[in-house]
Structure 1
Amino acid sequence: MDVHPELLLWNSSVVSLQMGNTSESTHFASKIRKEYDVFMGSLYTTFCILSLLGNSILLLVAYRKRSSLKPAELFIINLSFSDLGMTVTLFPLAIPSAFAHRWLFGELTCLCYAVCGVLFGLASLTNLTALSSVCCLKVCFPNYGNKFSYSHACLMIMGVWCYATVFAVGPLVNWGQYAPEPYGTACCIDWYAPSQDALSMSYIICLFLLCYALPLGIILLSYILILITVRGSQQAVQQHVSPQTKTTNAHILIVKLSVAVCIGFLTAWSPYAVVAMWAAFVEPVKVPPFAFALAAIFAKSSTIYNPVVYLIFKPNFRKSLSRDTAQIRRRIYSSPCKGSPLPGEKDLQQASLRCNKDPSHSTRLSNGLADSHGGCPHCSEAEHQCQQTPALRTACVLIGSSCSEMTLSQLPEKVHADLL
């Protein structure tokens, strides 16, 4: 019977990783062309730099606005931690190995690399799922979403890490297996093991269903419900405002964020899921090693995609970053005329003065929002309209504010700033 030589080499790699019986020069050699490895090493270097910058900036912004963070935003911080964990544990090993055209760090490090890759990768994936479900709860079911607190967020974050840990530790206790990647310069789950072991097959099936198909379904369903709810509320708001304010379209911003998150999830994890299922259940010997290498590139790109999405599409994060950047510029380029504000700073100062002149704006409600009791001359009109129009009441709940805090013409701007 003819046996494919790549399958023989792979089997020897698995045995070597678990038993240490063959030489490292054989099973840790690259299975793809040298120029492909150089290409991967160059991409990984770029990913590493951008991930460190993007996630560090996101965490810095979150730290600077820590007193005003919402419970749902804790998931964005946790996402940055998991992406940074993947960055600092995988890229420093994968980059030199790719340029060297072979794995450089031995069997034990290969095992640790595989565990960290699964742990941080699944933590990021599960965290995106939890974030989308919380956003859906707050927007579509505000009676329950308004009760979501920091303690609830912390419990869910702990659940995210426990969920990822189960699948990361599974192969260490013989539920599944770790092995060198088919392309040779990294390590991950043994995708060929299901053809030889029933436990490994059950692990791969659970991994696909519970860590890809189920999260994908939750994310898509959550953002579809969010878009439907916000669209209805936006239409209700625009029926009661002047034509000039209709140009402020929070719905477009929410659509962009929803589409960006869904595309990011599909782009990062779908190639690896398809290739892994192909190798596990179809014909493993016909899966080219470069297919796994390409899928790994897409998966690792998620470390730079996530921070970019939230820094661009979350208005409060973007505004906080702009303020911090303006402060840094002011300190670096301090002019002799110290009383002269930077461009754009004058408006912020005037807004601050207006808030200080109105004592009611300094009072905070239990949910952290400003409470104004009769401070706005137009409140009665806005409150009356909200009480008479159920859809407008929904819009007020969506933005986390009472109708008496603003005029009707301010509703779209408030949604634009605070909903996401």
Structure 2
Amino acid sequence: MDVYASALSPALDIGTGCYLLVLTVLSIVGNLLVLIMAFRRSSRMKPPELLSVNLAVTDLGTAITMYPLAVASAWSHHWLGGDVSCIYYGLAGFFFGIASIMNLTILAIVRFVVSLNLHSPKQKISWKKVKILCMWTWLYALIWALLPILGWGRYGPEPFGLSCSLAWGQMKHEGFSFVISIFSLNLLVPCVIIIFCYFGIALRLYFAYKKSMNNNHVPNFIKLHRRLLIIAVLISIGFIGCWAPYGLVSLWSVLNDSSKIPPEVSLLPCMFAKSSTVYNPLIYYFFSQSFKREVKQLSWLCLGSNPCQVSNSVNTNNIYMVSVNVKSKEVAPETLQEITQSRQ
């Protein structure tokens, strides 16, 4: 039996390929826009913003290195490249997936640390620390991605035949400790940390809001942090929500007979997980007026004869650290910094 032959109908193969092609385009365009926005503000970029750029790079890397091969395989009704491309695809998916969840975890921790003193203008995160955190994220993900090649765990084709990942069904005995380690250290623990951090931030904002209500005035920095918190929580929920169904199905296939899962059923959580690279730019666009405004102001997206005026205004407030002029009780208009820093 050819394990790389599609177990789906030809019509479903074509539909899957079209779906992945749409994801590829949306992921590349969306995350490139996020990186362009950050680059345009690079001279005024604060250290924590580098973590946001790092997270966009993981999504963009996933779309560029993986999705085109999956599209071509779907339209060929057979996985292309055999064992070599299967190992490459599984390693890339695992690598970028671990890098993303660790990035989200670090961002949540950093935001929590910053929230311990919302009024402090002091820089709490240096460029050196942020660069070390980014390097640690990639190194940590690379180590986990190489472990199956070194003998702990293994990569293999998905049951529906058009994708490759960790061979969950083959790790019932040989790699069961690897499976437990993955779910514990790279899913359960990060999720608990993310929930704890954002819940802690929400509590601090709530008490700050209640205290300000006693004075019949809600400071603008509380409203700003609340808006950034909502965006950050949506991003975390989007990623975890996309990968949770796939994780549950994978865990079930380890504990039970994976052959009992119909190919069509195993396809759905896999495709849903791949959509995680699309949501972040969409969340920015629909929930942040500044990101939408910056995108529309890009000269190469302008149509017609009216020239586009790109805003070069500098926000003197460090939105991430909330260095606000308390005396004036005013916050500068929302800028791109809010977008890139909303993931922190």
Q: TM-score, normalised by structure 2?
A: 0.85
Measure how far apart 1:258 and its partner are. 4.0
For residues 14-53 of structure 1, the C-alpha deviation after alignment (integer angstroms, 9 at most, x for no partner) is xxxxxxxxxxxx1210122333222211110100010111
Measure how far apart 1:141 and its partner are. 5.0
1:6-405 counterparts in 2 under 5 A? 26-141=2-117, 146-197=123-174, 200-240=175-215, 249-250=223-224, 253-254=227-228, 256-313=230-287, 317-318=291-292, 320-322=294-296, 324-325=297-298, 333-334=305-306, 399-404=322-327
Distance 1:149-1:252 versus aligned 2 partners, 3 A rule: closer
Report the structure number with the largest CA radius of gyration: 1
Measure how far apart 1:238 and its partner are. 4.9
Please tell me whether the aligned partners of residues 41 and 95 of structure 1 are also in contact (alpha carbons under 8 angstroms): yes
Distance in structure 2 (CA, Å) of the matches to 1:105 and 1:330: 41
3-state SS of 1:403 partner:
coil
Measure how far apart 1:173 and its partner are. 0.4
Which is helix-richer, 1 or 2?
Answer: 1
Distance in structure 2 (CA, Å) of the matches to 1:112 and 1:227: 41
Distance in structure 1 (CA, Å) of the matches to 2:229 and 2:58: 26
**Runs of 4+ that moved beyond 3 A:** 141-146, 234-243, 248-252, 310-322, 327-332, 411-415, 417-420
Distance in structure 2 (CA, Å) of the matches to 1:141 and 1:193: 49
Distance in structure 2 (CA, Å) of the matches to 1:59 and 1:85: 12
* Structure with bigger RCO (C-alpha 8 Å, 6+ apart): 2
Distance in structure 2 (CA, Å) of the matches to 1:397 and 1:334: 34
For residues 69-116 of structure 1, the C-alpha deviation after alignment (integer angstroms, 9 at most, x for no partner) is 222221111111111111111111100111222112222112111111
Please tell me whether the aligned partners of residues 193 and 201 of structure 1 are also in contact (alpha carbons under 8 angstroms): no
Amino acid aligned to 1:173: L
Distance in structure 2 (CA, Å) of the matches to 1:214 and 1:319: 37
Distance in structure 2 (CA, Å) of the matches to 1:329 and 1:306: 20
Amino acid aligned to 1:267: G
Measure how far apart 1:290 and its partner are. 2.5
| Equivalent residue pairs, number | 338
Measure how far apart 1:205 and its partner are. 0.9
Distance in structure 2 (CA, Å) of the matches to 1:60 and 1:250: 23
Distance in structure 2 (CA, Å) of the matches to 1:279 and 1:51: 29
Distance in structure 2 (CA, Å) of the matches to 1:32 and 1:331: 43
Measure how far apart 1:262 and its partner are. 3.3
Structure 2 segments unaligned to the other structure (5+ residues): none
Please tell me whether the aligned partners of residues 93 and 165 of structure 2 are also in contact (alpha carbons under 8 angstroms): yes
Distance in structure 2 (CA, Å) of the matches to 1:308 and 1:146: 30
Identity of aligned residues (%): 28
3-state SS of 1:71 partner:
coil
Measure how far apart 1:310 and its partner are. 3.6
For residues 255-289 of structure 1, the C-alpha deviation after alignment (integer angstroms, 9 at most, x for no partner) is 53144123202321101110110001233232233
Partner in structure 2 of residue 16 of structure 1: none
Distance in structure 2 (CA, Å) of the matches to 1:288 and 1:397: 47
3-state SS of 1:192 partner:
helix
Distance 1:164-1:242 versus aligned 2 partners, 3 A rule: closer
Structure 1 segments unaligned to the other structure (5+ residues): 1-8, 10-25, 336-340, 356-360, 362-367, 371-395
Distance 1:141-1:218 versus aligned 2 partners, 3 A rule: farther
